[in-house]
Amino acid sequence: MHETPSRAMPAAPFAPLVVIPVYDHEHAIGAVVRGVLASGLPCLLVDDGSHPGCAQVLDALATAHAPQVALLRLPHNQGKGGAMLAGFAEAARRGHSHVLQIDADGQHDPGDIPRFVALARQHPDAVICGIPAYDASVPKARLYGRYATHIWVWINTLSLHIRDSMCGFRLYPLAPVTRLVGEETIGRRMDFDSEILVRLFWRDVPVISLPTRVTYPSDGVSHFDVWRDNVRISRMHTRLFFGMLPRAPRLLWRRLRGAAPVGAPPA
């Protein structure tokens, strides 16, 4: 299968929007929003069918911080990927050039947003992808379990370049993402983060890794379903593997030419 490589974005105003997918994180989302506001960027909260208690918190945040904070409400829960896809579409409608994704549970440090933005200004056609620097709060089973996905991603890209595909703290150039989601079906739940990154890599979108501190959810809420989400992720890796096979000659040629996307900056 031949794909047209994504071209570098034409010169245009650099206008990032922070998109936060939210599902019942009413205890943590306030601190996340305050951290985002401190960065000076506008923010879109995507309410992914939250229950009334969380919905009320989101309404209050959007009202208190308008117009810097906006709220997009989905009628029912679609999953993290579904919420991000809705966020991409809304960001494009509003004329933004980039989307910075950060989780609603407080595990990411909004104080790192300026580092992501600075790197994106230097490389506006690249995905800036967080590499977690965990503290002692991370469950060891989850930490070690991530390596299975790392290995599959390395297989499906024929590269070691994507160092972590599961971190939900990343900054996307919106133009190639919009093209991708218009042409491919992307997983709408916990399979989203890895799948979109691999498919963008296949399209020659550069990926730059940026170390960032990660703690485990500050509100103690995780929506990762060990059985269902692991099954979804396994199916996703299988789909990607069979999608990689016809792309293998081109991926290998790109690697041999040394044309892999730019690498990670120093920690």
**Residue 60 region by backbone torsions, left for phi larger than 0, else alpha for psi between -120 and 50, else beta:** alpha
pLDDT in tens, 11-70: 468 999 999 999 999 999 999 999 999 999 999 999 999 999 999 999 999 999 999 999
- Return d(Cα 156, Cα 239) in angstroms, integer: 10
pLDDT for 206 equals 94
Most confident of the ranges 129-138, 207-216, 218-227: 207-216
Question: Is the pLDDT higher at 253 or at 10?
Answer: 253
Which band of pLDDT confidence, cut at 50, 70 and 90, is reported for residue 165? confident
pTM (global) more than 0.75: yes
Listed range (55-69, 102-116, 204-218, 222-236) with the worst mean pLDDT: 222-236
pLDDT for 141 equals 58
Q: What mean pLDDT is reported for the chain?
A: 85
What is the per-residue DSSP string for the chain?
Answer: ---PPPPPPPS----EEEEEEESS-TTTHHHHHHHHHHTT--EEEEEES--HHHHHHHHHHHHHTTTTEEEEEESS---HHHHHHHHHHHHHHTT-SEEEE--SSS-B-GGGHHHHHHHHHHSTTSEEEEEEEE-TTS-HHHHHHHHHHHHHHHHHHTSS--S-S--S-EEEEHHHHHHHHHHS---SSTTHHHHHHHHHHHTT--EEEEEEEE-S-TTS-----HHHHHHHHHHHHHHHHHHHHHHHHHHHHHHHTT-PPP-PPP-
The pLDDT of residue 176 is above 70? yes
By the 8 A CB rule, do 102 and 116 touch? no
Question: Is the pLDDT higher at 81 or at 252?
Answer: 81
Which band of pLDDT confidence, cut at 50, 70 and 90, is reported for residue 227? low
By the 8 A CB rule, do 101 and 170 touch? yes
6-34 b/e with 16+ CB inside 10 Å = b?
beebeeeeeebbbbbbbbbbbbbbbebbe
The pLDDT of residue 263 is above 50? no
Which band of pLDDT confidence, cut at 50, 70 and 90, is reported for residue 127? very high
Which band of pLDDT confidence, cut at 50, 70 and 90, is reported for residue 264? very low
Which band of pLDDT confidence, cut at 50, 70 and 90, is reported for residue 244? confident
Question: Is the pLDDT higher at 12 or at 196?
Answer: 196
pLDDT in tens, 66-103: 999 999 999 999 999 999 999 999 999 999 999 999 99
